[in-house]
Amino acid sequence: MENFVYEYPTKVYFGKGAAGQHLPGILADYGPNVLLAYGGGSIKRNGVYEELTGILQAAGKTVTEFAGIMSNPTWAKVQEGARLARERKIDLILAVGGGSVVDCCKIVAAQAVTDEDLWDLEMVRHKMPAKAPIPLGAVVTASGTGAEMNGGAVITNEEVKIKGGMFAAAPRFAVLDPAYTLTLPRMQVLSGAFDTLSHAMETYFGRSDRDNVSDEVAEAVMRSTVTNMRTLLKDINDYTARSNLMWTSAMAENGILKVGRLTDFECHQIEHQLGAYTDCNHGQGLAVIHPAYYRHIYKSAVPKFARFARNVWGIDPAGKTEEEAAQAGILALEAFILECGLPTKLSQLRSRAEITPALLRQVADSCNLLPNGYKQLTRDEVYDILMECL
Ligand code: NZQ
Ligand code: ZN
């Protein structure tokens, strides 16, 4: 294994009724001023807003609302939240939503305590914020990203056309009530769950030794994610499957799978940069890119892809060369994406710009190239992968 330091910053409260049961006690530990952050309004339609504002009022908190956090949150939205948090002397930020709300609030929490521009600090000068952020808690209403259990945040800077990963405040606590996810649109449920599968795959296919305990845990997370997604294909409201997926989502991004190993995450880099140009849905973008990406890299890691086929997709290696087994695993992944009704071509993504070869060239030329996958990609290879997805 690689050397590692592992620490768990987030306390998790999981289960039906978790907010009502635990939030009153949690809130007692924080000052009076709470920033209640949320997205485009789903929480007002499904009763979560009413429940949480009731709990906050009963706890005697002064609530400032920070609403309208969009999917793929922008740097401008972070600055809006930071201004509010500063003006209202916020003691606790409560982020209620999916990955977008939680991510936006992570950076708001750090940006509010400094005059320094954190984009410039982190993305240009590659330094970390020095001051402790405002405490942050997450109430998850859409699972998949695992954002609630890590300090990473993905923010789109529209001015420079970069969707990039930043690091700031990890939530101190996370309330995970699977019942809160029941009003999610079907496609978001499935694309969120595919994001979870992608996180486990991206970690698993990092360049590392083959007998790492984290890989065995990753296989279990991948199998469970696939099994529970298949249950949802039959009954999208199955609570047990929703609760399992809520936990595999957290497991895939809480650092457990990354312990003692290097990770890939190149597919995420490509998707994020595609998102900067198109504003596409994250999980759907990943579903399109993953098979093409793996067809390009598997020859550099045939034994690992054959193991993926066997241990995740149950493919019998008998009568197959190792390379044939590896290819069968990628085909199984592709078939599963189709089975879920997720997009398989870029033209199926909702995009704010027409997806043309010229746009894909810009995506390839601006996307991060990471060093720890089995194959180091060039920009031309990223372009070829994207063109294969057209
Ligand atoms: O804005 P509202 O009205 O709340 O609607 C949202 C949004 O339209 C809706 N929604 C959420 N909960 C709902 C609900 N609708 C009905 N009922 C509910 N209970 O769902 C839509 C999508 O929400 P969003 O938060 O954008 O989705 P997701 O959780 O997939 O987050 C995506 C963002 O997370 C980043 C992605 O890049 C993207 O920006 N990621 C963050 C990661 C991290 N911090 O660890 C890792 C991931 O790889 C990912 O990159
Ligand atoms: Zn992701």
What is the per-residue pLDDT across 63-107, written as a single tens digit (0 to 9) for each? 999 999 999 999 999 999 999 999 999 999 999 999 999 999 999
The H or E element spanning position 13 is strand 11-14
Same domain, residue pair 216 and 311: yes
Radius of gyration of the chain (CA): 21
153 CA closest ligand 1 atom index: 44
What are 74's strand-pairing partners?
156
Q: Of all protein residues, whose CA lies closest to atom 31 belonging to ligand 1?
A: 99
Dist. CA 55–CA 221, nearest whole Å: 34
Q: Is the pLDDT of residue 307 over 90?
A: yes
Dist. CA 223–CA 306, nearest whole Å: 15
Q: How many helices (H) does the chain have, and how many strands (E)?
A: 15, 8
Dist. CA 320–CA 21, nearest whole Å: 54
- 139 neighbors 95 (Cβ within 8 angstroms): yes
What Å distances lie between residue 63 and 52, 56, 77, CA to CA?
A: 11, 8, 19
In angstroms, what is the span from residue 262 Cα to ligand 2's centroid? 17
> Is 80 a member of any domain?
yes
Angle between helices 213-234 and 322-339 (to 10 degrees): 40
Write down which residue in 181, 200, 227 finishes a domain: 181
Sheet holding 33-38, edge to edge: 11-14, 173-176, 136-140, 92-97, 33-38, 62-66
Same domain, residue pair 24 and 136: yes
Dist. CA 176–CA 246, nearest whole Å: 7
Same domain, residue pair 140 and 45: yes
Dist. CA 27–CA 41, nearest whole Å: 23
> Is 372 a member of any domain?
yes
Task: Provide the domain limits for residue 381.
Answer: 186-389
> Is 217 a member of any domain?
yes
Dist. CA 43–CA 51, nearest whole Å: 10
Where do we find the tokens 């006690």? 25
User: Among residues 292, 314, 311, which one has the least CA distance to residue 360?
Assistant: 292
Q: Does the CB atom of residue 129 touch ligand 1 within 6 A?
A: no
Write down which residue in 138, 164, 181 finishes a domain: 181
Same domain, residue pair 355 and 337: yes
- 71 neighbors 100 (Cβ within 8 angstroms): yes
What pTM was computed for the model? 0.98
195 CA closest ligand 1 atom index: 48
48 CA closest ligand 1 atom index: 19
Of the listed ranges 198-212, 268-282, 323-337, the one predicted with least confidence = 198-212
Q: Does the CB atom of residue 184 touch ligand 1 within 6 A?
A: yes
Q: What is the mean pLDDT of residues 141-147?
A: 98
- 204 neighbors 225 (Cβ within 8 angstroms): no
- 148 neighbors 140 (Cβ within 8 angstroms): yes
Dist. CA 140–CA 118, nearest whole Å: 25
Same domain, residue pair 212 and 257: yes
Q: pLDDT tier at 297 (50, 70, 90 boundaries)?
A: very high
Cα 297 → chain centroid: 23
In angstroms, what is the span from residue 104 Cα to ligand 1's centroid? 11
Which phi-psi region, left, alpha or beta, contains residue 199 (left: φ > 0; alpha: ψ -120 to 50)? alpha
Residues whose CB falls within 8 Å of the CB of residue 65, separated by 6 or more in sequence, listed in order: 35, 36, 37, 38
CATH number for the domain spanning 29: value is: 3.40.50.1970
In angstroms, what is the span from residue 378 Cα to ligand 1's centroid? 30
Strands (E), 56-161: 62-66, 92-97, 136-140, 152-157
Where do we find the tokens 């759907």? 284
Dist. CA 98–CA 46, nearest whole Å: 14
Same domain, residue pair 174 and 201: no
In angstroms, what is the span from residue 193 Cα to ligand 2's centroid? 10
Q: Of all protein residues, whose CA lies closest to atom 39 belonging to ligand 1?
A: 72
Q: Does the CB atom of residue 72 touch ligand 1 within 6 A?
A: yes
Q: pLDDT tier at 7 (50, 70, 90 boundaries)?
A: confident
Same domain, residue pair 225 and 315: yes
* % of the chain beyond a pLDDT of 90: 96
Q: What is the mean pLDDT of residues 143-169?
A: 96
Counting the structural domains of the chain, the total is 2
pLDDT of residue 385: 98
Q: Buried b / exposed e across 289-326, counting CB within 10 Å, b at 16+?
A: bbbbbbebbbeebbebbbbbbbbbbebeeeebeeeebb
Same domain, residue pair 163 and 298: no
CATH number for the domain spanning 326: value is: 1.20.1090.10
The H or E element spanning position 175 is strand 173-176
Same domain, residue pair 104 and 128: yes
Q: What is the mean pLDDT of the chain?
A: 97
> Is 120 a member of any domain?
yes
pLDDT of residue 211: 74
pLDDT of residue 71: 98
